[in-house]
Structure 1
Amino acid sequence: MKLEHRKQKVAPLPQFLLRQARFGLFAFLLISISVGIGTLGYHHFANLVWLDGFHMACMILTGMGPVVEMTTEQAKLFSSFYALYSGVAFLSITAVFFAPIVHRLLHILHVEATTEKEN
C-alpha cells in the first residue's frame, strides 16, 4: 500500500478510489479482528452468550462504554485491558482509513504550491 512521492503527480481518480478501497478493506479487517478478540474474551471470561459478547465488544471498541457489569475478577481484568486496547485500536484504524484521503489533499496542495512558484 504505497503512496506517491511528493515529486510525483497526483494519482488519477480511479487509482485513488482503488487505493481507498484497499485501505478501507484493511481497516475493516482490523475492526473484524478486534471485535472477534473482544467477543471471544467476553464469552470466555465474562460467560456472556455470543451475541451479548459481540454487543459488548462493539460498544467498547467504539468508545460507547460497557453494557453489562463485570462480576468476576477475570472479566474485570479482560474488560480493562480490552478497553485500553480498543482506545488505541480505534484511533489507529481510523488513521488507516483516512490516510489516503489526507495524503491526497496534502499532495494536491503541495503540487499546486509548486506549480505556482515555477511560473
Structure 2
Amino acid sequence: MQQRPTIIASLTSFEKRHHKVAPRLVFAERLARAIGLWLALTAFGLAIGIAGYAHFEGMNLTDAFLNASMILSGMGPAAELKTEAGKVFAGCYAIFSGLIIVIATGFVLAPIFHRVLHKFHVEARDGDD
C-alpha cells in the first residue's frame, strides 16, 4: 500500500524537467491544497493576534479580532494601544504577520509559477525536435 504524501510534501513536489506538464486536475488539486494551507496559516495567525490583544490590551473579542486582522492584512492597528506589553506584542505580531503572509503567499504562487515555467520549458523542448 502506497503512503499519501504530507500536505507540505505534496505542495513542494512538482513534476521534473523531463516530465510532461501535470493535467489540469492535478494542478487544481495542488492549488486547492496550497489555498487550504494559506487559510490555515491565516487562521493560526489571526488566533494568535486575537489572543494577544485580548490578553495584553484587555480588548473584547471583537476589538481584538479587528486589530489582529488589520495587522495581519498589513493595514496597521485600528485602536490606540495603551499598555507597554500591548505595544511590544503588537510590534512582534506585526513582524510575525508579515512573515506569515509572505510564506503563505509563496505556497499559493509556487504551483502557478511552476506550471507556467514548466509549460515554457516543455514547449521549448518540443520545438527543438
**TM exceeding 0.5:** yes
Aligned to 1:115: 126
Instruction: Pick the aligned partner of 2:35 from 8, 24, 32.
Output: 24
Alignment of 1:1-119 (within 5 A): 1=10, 2-117=13-128, 119=129
- Aligned partner of residue 10 in structure 1, secondary structure: coil
What number of residue pairs does the alignment pair up? 118
- Where does the alignment leave 5 or more consecutive residues of structure 1 unmatched? none
How far apart are the structure 1 equivalents of 2:121 and 2:57? 52
Q: Deviations over 1:45-68 (max 9, x none)?
A: 111111111111111011011101
How far apart are the structure 1 equivalents of 2:20 and 2:34? 20
**Match of 1:75, as an amino acid?**
G
Identity %: 41
**Match of 2:73, as an amino acid?**
T
How far apart are the structure 2 equivalents of 1:53 and 1:31? 15
Report the TM-score, using the length of structure 2 for normalisation.
Answer: 0.88
- Where does the alignment leave 5 or more consecutive residues of structure 2 unmatched? 1-9
How far apart are the structure 1 equivalents of 2:48 and 2:38? 15
Aligned-pair RMSD on alpha carbons? 0.8
How far apart are the structure 2 equivalents of 1:24 and 1:50? 26
**Match of 1:83, as an amino acid?**
A
How far apart are the structure 1 equivalents of 2:25 and 2:16? 18
| Runs of 4+ residues over 3 Å off in structure 1 | none
Q: Deviations over 1:35-84 (max 9, x none)?
A: 11001101101111111111111110110111011111100000000001
